Amino acid sequence: MDIKSLSLDELKLEVAKLGEKPYRAKQLYEWMHIKLARGYDEMTNLPKSLREKLAANYEYISLKEVTVQTSRLDGTKKFLFELSDGNLVESVWMQYHHGNAVCISSQVGCRMGCRFCASTLDGLERNLTPSEMLDQIYAISRSIGERVSNIVVMGTGEPLDNYSNLLQFIDMITDENGLNISQRNITVSTCGIVENMKRLADEKLQITLALSLHGSTQAKRQELMPIARKYDIDEVIDACRYYFDKTGRRVTFEYSLVGGVNDTDEDAENLCSLVGGLNCHVNLIPVNPIKERDFVESERKHVLNFQKKLEKRHINATIRREMGRDIDGACGQLRRRHSTATESVQEI
């Protein structure tokens, strides 16, 4: 059993099963989720006999840092971690004026197949456990020596395709007995799995939901995102409206601008009609080209024009600051480059 994925209440039950005093659960939880211990050995106020018992009965997840790359442009740091089964995940640390943010992965690989995304090229390997999501944040916080203020679940994987682990993760990272990060400082990005967007709305959390839209009509969206064949664009927008109605949280639409594909005046007009009635925010992302596909970035003037068109219709739109461009900033590029480099070494 993976001890770091247990909530405090679940941990209390386990501690009772071991015949230990209840206060030990709180101590143990604090070591794992506040002091960010890397193993049982560090838990010096627990008796050695208890630490041995824990080690014999519970796996302790602690990610191994494989590489860290620091951007010379903006100080963004990209971490590559190894999981206990040898799989690799990547996470990013970004510094802003108002705090810092960690972008975490939710799965090893992804099965959603978005055409411009590097994370999906080899499909889905497996879901990440709550502890593996938490430990991306813990490992980065330890390594940098700073508290993390914001979390975006926008790394590799589709978080709503790993629903129950995602929810347990959110519960634990916002727990006042742990890092106690505010729900309002958490953003979950989805390609639009409608039933789980509604389920999430019904949880009535205060997290921000970001929808990867990327196309402003059903036909355009379908070209870029295979998941759009399953859920019609109107159904996805309805689910966003539902999320706002249930939670009062403004939804973010992510729109990656691909040169000549979805960045024309007509695309901007269609986007205005699509989201016009919603309390939302549009985040324009110049696509980060990956070598496996021939998509190109929109020209700067088209990006600015697109933004202007939205603003004219009173739709709040920002252009995402591109952070860590020089260090494989786009989803899945680092993990992929590392695995292919290792494979080619083995081939020699």
- How far, in Å, CA of 158 to CA of 210, rounded? 12
Query: Choosing from 20, 90, 125, 158, which is the catalytic residue?
Result: 90
For residue 266, give Cα distances in angstroms to 192, 262, 263, 273, 329.
23, 9, 8, 11, 29
Stretch that binds ligand SAH, among 34-42, 79-87, 113-121, 135-143 (CB under 6 A): 113-121
Contacts of 218-224 with CB under 8 Å at 24 or more apart are: 220/261, 220/262, 220/267, 220/270, 223/115, 223/261, 224/114, 224/115, 224/116, 224/258, 224/261, 224/262
Number of residues that bind ligand SAH (CB under 6 A): 18
Stretch that binds ligand SAH, among 39-47, 56-64, 88-96, 189-197 (CB under 6 A): 189-197
By CB under 6 A, name the one of 136, 165, 168, 189 that touches ligand SAH: 189
Q: Note whether 290 binds ligand SAH by CB under 6 A.
A: yes
Nearest-approach distance from CB 212 to ligand SAH, in angstroms = 3
By CB under 6 A, name the one of 330, 334, 335, 336 that touches ligand SAH: 330
Active site residue 90: yes
- How far, in Å, CA of 89 to CA of 332, rounded? 8
Nearest-approach distance from CB 117 to ligand SAH, in angstroms = 4
Nearest-approach distance from CB 277 to ligand SAH, in angstroms = 22
Task: Between 62 and 185, name the residue whose CB sits nearer to ligand SAH.
Answer: 185
Q: What is the 3-state secondary structure (H, E, C) of 119-151?
A: HHCCCEEEECCHHHHHHHHHHHHHHHCCCCCEE
Stretch that binds ligand SAH, among 3-11, 122-130, 238-246, 287-295 (CB under 6 A): 287-295
- How far, in Å, CA of 185 to CA of 172, rounded? 14
Structure tokens at 226: 């295979």
Task: Between 24 and 302, name the residue whose CB sits nearer to ligand SAH.
Answer: 302
Q: In sequence order, what are the beta bridge partners of 212?
A: 254
Task: Give the largest Cα separation in the chain, rounded.
Answer: 69
Q: By rule CB under 6 A, what string of x and - marks binding of each residue 58-97 to ligand SAH?
A: ----------------------------------------
Show contacts with ligand SAH in window 238-267 (CB under 6 A). 254, 256
Q: Is the Cβ–Cβ distance between 277 and 240 less than 8 Å?
A: no
Show contacts with ligand SAH in window 192-231 (CB under 6 A). 212
Q: Note whether 191 binds ligand SAH by CB under 6 A.
A: yes
Active site residue 254: no
Q: In sequence order, what are the beta bridge partners of 238?
A: none
Place of tokens 């020596």: 145
Residue at 170: amino acid letter: I
Nearest-approach distance from CB 330 to ligand SAH, in angstroms = 4
Nearest-approach distance from CB 89 to ligand SAH, in angstroms = 12
Residues that bind ligand SAH (CB under 6 A): 112, 114, 116-117, 154, 158, 189-191, 212, 254, 256, 285, 287-288, 290, 330-331
